[in-house]
Amino acid sequence: MATRQMQNFINGTWKAAQSGDRFESRNPAHPAELIGVFPQSGTAEIEEAVHSANRAQESWRALGLVKRAEYLLRVARLMEEDTEPLAQIIAREAGKQVNEARADVVEAIHTAQYAFAFGHLGQYGRVLGDEVPSKRCYEILEPRGVVVAITPWNFPVALPFWLTGLSLVLGNCVILKPSEYTPMCGARIAGYFEQAGMPAGVFQVLHGAGETAGAPLVSHPGTHVVLFTGSYGVGLRIKQEVAKHAHKVCTIETGGKNAVLVMEDANLDMAVTASLLSAFKTAGQRCVTAGRLLVDSRVVERFRDRFVETAKRVRVGDPLDDKVFYGAMINRQGVEKGRRFNEMARTEGFEVLLDRNTEAPPTPDGYWLKPFVYAGPWRSDSVCLTEEAFSPHVAIVPVRGVEEAVTVYNDTKYGLSGAIITEDYRKAKYAEEHMQCGIFYWNLPCIGAGVRLPFGGVKQSGNLIPSAAGLIPVLTHPKAVTYNLDTTIVMAQGLSAEIK
C-alpha cells in the first residue's frame, strides 16, 4: 500500500488541517511501514464540521426515512465490493489477523444493511389511543441533531457503523472521530459515503488525537449526542462533560474483565476451544476478551493441562498471514501494559503456567505479546485478576459449582460479557439469571457480536447498551402529537374548557 497524505472529510470535501499539523499511522507488525499521514484536527476543523453538520441537518431530516436508508444500502454495497482491500488495510493498520479483519468488514456491512432495513420497516413512532374519542394521538420520533461518534482502534470499521448507521437513518448528521491508531480505516469509510453521494455535511470524518479532536467535539454546544466506545477512564470523563449540557445525551461502551465458566460436566474440547478464542483472539485486545477462566475444581487439572498444551501451539505472526491465530498488539503502550500485567501475576504470587514471551518475536521491531497463562485461587484484591489487561493474559481460577463461579464472575467492577460451558441446562439458566453482564453465552466463547442484538455492559462496562434498536431512544426524542377532529375543545382528565 503506497503511503498517502490523507485529509479530513468535512462538508463533502477533503481538507487538510489549517494548522498544518499532521500525524502518522504505522503498521504495528512492521512499524517501519508508514500507512499514511493524517491531519491533526484543531479548533478550525471542529468549528467547520459542527457548523456544516447543523446546516445539513434539516434537509437530511426532511428527506425521509426511506431515502435516508437507501444511502446506507449503497454504502453497504460499496463495502461488499471492497471487502478484501479493506480487510488488508485493517490488518496492516490495526494488526488484526486478516480473517478477523474480514469479519470486521462483514460486521460493518451487516450493520449498514440492518440500518437500511430498519428504515424500510418504518417502525418509527406509535399511534396511541386517547381518552377523548375526538382526539388522535401520535408519538413521532425526531432526530436529536448532530451525533459525535468516537471510536477505538480495535474494531476500526465495524464500530463506526454500529454508531453511525442508525444515527443517519434516523435523521441525524454524524461526525466520526476515529482512533488516531486507525485513521486509514476512518478515511476509507468516508470514501464510501462520498461515493454513495451522501449530501455534504451529513457524514464527516475528523482525524486527530482524543484530547484535541475528540474532547472539543464532546463539549461543543453545537453537538447533541455523543456515542463513545473505548476505555472506562475516557468514557467517564465524557459522561461528566456531557452532564454539563442540558441538551446533550451520551452513551459510553467501555471495557470488561470477562470470564468463561467451565462446569464439572462440560464438554472439555468445547471448553478449551471456547476459552482459547475468548482469551486470545485479537491478542486479547477485545472489550469482551476473557481474562478469567473460572473452572470447577473437579475438572480444573484436566482442563488446565489441555488448555496450556493448546495455548503452546497458538500461532502468532504477521496479520496478513491467514495461517496465524492472532496478529500484533496495537502499539508499544499496549505491549508495556500487557507486560505489566504479566509481571503483576508473578508479584501477586500466582503460579505461571505458560509464558511464551521468551520466544523470538515474529518481527524484531513489531509490537508482539505471546500467550501468558497463570493460575491461583480467587482474590478480589488482586489487580491482575480484576482489571482489564487488554492483552493475551488469562487466569485459570478454580471454583466449586455454578453458584461460586457466578459469585466470582460478579466480583469485579465490570459487567460486559460472560459464557458458561455446561451440558446442564439448569446451570446455564442459573448463570444466565445471576451473572451481572450485558452479553451472555451458553456453550460458546464470550466474544462475538450479533448486529441485531443488544451489545454492551453494566457496571463500569458502560451505560444504556447502545446498539441496534437500543440506540433509538438515544438518537431520537419522542414528540407527543394530539389532533382534535371535533369543532369544540374537550380537555382530558375532565379539565374544564369553559371560559368564565
**Binder of ligand NAP out of 86, 90, 157, 215 (CB under 6 A):** 215
For ligand NAP, which is the closer residue by CB, 201 or 291? 291
Q: Angle at the Cα of 329 (from 17 to 250), degrees rounded to 5?
A: 55
Binding mask 414-453 for ligand NAP (x = CB under 6 A): --x-------------------------------------
Whose CA is closest to 250, among 150, 324, 169, 325? 150
Choice between 210 and 338, CB closer to ligand NAP: 210
Residues 47-86 that bind ligand NAP (CB under 6 A): none
Stretch that binds ligand NAP, among 97-105, 247-255, 362-370, 475-483 (CB under 6 A): 247-255
**Binding track over 162-191 against ligand NAP, x by CB under 6 A:** ---------------x-xxx----------
Size of the site for ligand NAP (CB under 6 A): 30
Please return the burial class of 175, using the count of CB atoms within 10 Å of its CB with bins 0-12, 13-18 and 19+.
buried
219 binding ligand NAP? (CB under 6 A): no
Residue of 201, 210, 327, 362 that binds ligand NAP (CB under 6 A): 210
The residue from 52, 57, 97, 254 that contacts ligand NAP (CB under 6 A) is: 254
Containing 114, the helix (H) or strand (E) segment is helix 98-121
* Cβ proximity of 169 and 118 under 8 Å: yes
Among 253, 283, 304, 468, binds ligand NAP (CB under 6 A): 253
Q: Which of 257, 259, 258, 262 is nearest to 428 (CA)?
A: 262
What are the grid coordinates assigned to 10, written together? 468535512
Contact window for ligand NAP (CB under 6 A) among 189-197, 250-258, 356-364, 479-487: 250-258
Draw the binding track, 459-488, toward ligand NAP (x: CB under 6 A; -: no contact). ---x--------------------------
Stretch that binds ligand NAP, among 70-78, 229-237, 274-282, 345-353 (CB under 6 A): 229-237
The least distance separating ligand NAP from the CB of residue 438, rounded to whole angstroms, comes to 9
Distance CA 410, CA 408 (A): 5
**Which cell is 251 given?**
452513551
Q: Nearest distance from residue 153's CB to ligand NAP, in Å?
A: 5
Q: Report 321-360 residues binding ligand NAP (CB under 6 A).
A: none
Instruction: Please state the closest distance from residue 250 (CB atom) to ligand NAP, in A.
Output: 11
Q: How many CB atoms lie within 10 A of CB 88?
A: 16
The CB-of-287 to ligand NAP minimum distance in angstroms stands at 3
Which residues are within 8 A (CB) of 57 and not within 5 positions of it... i.e. 6 or more apart? 143, 145, 146, 171, 172, 173, 201
Interface with ligand NAP includes 104 (CB under 6 A)?
no
Beta carbon nearer to ligand NAP, 178 or 319: 178
Residue showing the smallest CB distance to ligand NAP in the complex? 210
Residues 6+ apart with CB under 8 A from 258: 278, 288, 289, 290, 291, 292, 414, 416, 417, 418, 437, 446
Contacts of 142 (CB under 8 A, 6+ apart): 61, 171, 476, 477, 478, 479
Instruction: Tell me the C-alpha to C-alpha distance, in Å, between residue 320 and each of 85, 104, 154, 364.
Output: 11, 14, 16, 17
The verdict on 287 binding ligand NAP (CB under 6 A) reads: yes
20 burial via Cβ count (<10 Å: 0-12, 13-18, 19+): exposed
Q: Cell match 500467550: residue?
A: 371
User: What 3-state class would DSSP assign to 459?
Assistant: strand
Q: Compare residues 307 and 390 and give the one whose CB is closer to ligand NAP.
A: 390
From 28, 156, 214, 466, residue interacting with ligand NAP (rule: CB under 6 A): 214
Residues 125, 200: Cα–Cα separation, whole Å: 28
Q: Which stretch binds ligand NAP (CB under 6 A): 26-34, 87-95, 125-133, 147-155?
A: 147-155
For ligand NAP, which residue of 255, 284, 338, 448 counts as binding (CB under 6 A)? 255
Helices (H), 145-248: 158-169, 183-195, 215-219, 232-242
As measured in angstroms, the least distance from the Cβ of 449 to ligand NAP is 8
> Could you list the residues that contact ligand NAP (CB under 6 A)?
150-155, 177, 179-181, 209-211, 214-215, 218, 229-231, 234, 237-238, 253-255, 287, 388, 390, 416, 462
